[in-house]
Amino acid sequence: MVLKSGSNQIHGGAYEFVRNQAFDAVNYFNQGQQPFKRNQFGFFFGGPIIKSKTFFFADYQGSRLRESSPFISDIPTMDQRGGDFTALLTGNAFSPCDLAGQAAPAGDPHFDTGTIFDPYTTTSFTCQNIDPSTSQPVSVALRQPLFVSGAGQRD
């Protein structure tokens, strides 16, 4: 609530705030600018009803927003709904024991780059590679894969 003493003169005003796509950057997930128009506008008006005794004041504010928003979502395939995520496997292997310029030996774990891991099963593993800066074996944190590469079955 706003209280203001009246005036024996008529007073008023109008305003508008405009924002549109001409001033916005392109959304990263879109192939161009999307329509966007925002208008906030209003007016206010006041004056005497009975000179020096009774006054009126009125105002109005409106907002108009017109925009489109992209919605990106993955929909699981029927195989994924059944628990088979082998379609995510890429055929490219990696090892957490790889060092720059030094591949992990065959005895160290190797996984497909599309393997899904259980985040609640972190264990420590000592690799066969030796870190040249410390002359010590490399230790890594490993997680259990939820699916064996290529088999699509739970461990």
pLDDT in tens, the chain (155 residues): 666 666 788 889 999 998 887 777 776 776 666 778 889 999 999 889 888 888 888 999 999 988 777 677 788 888 888 878 888 888 888 888 888 777 788 888 888 888 888 888 888 888 888 777 888 888 888 888 876 444 444 44
Total residues found in the chain within this entry: 155
What is the model's pLDDT at position 150? 45
- This model's pTM is above 0.75: no
What is the enclosing helix (H) or strand (E) of 49? strand 36-50
What is the enclosing helix (H) or strand (E) of 64? strand 54-67
Give the whole-angstrom CA distance, residue 120 versus residue 142.
11
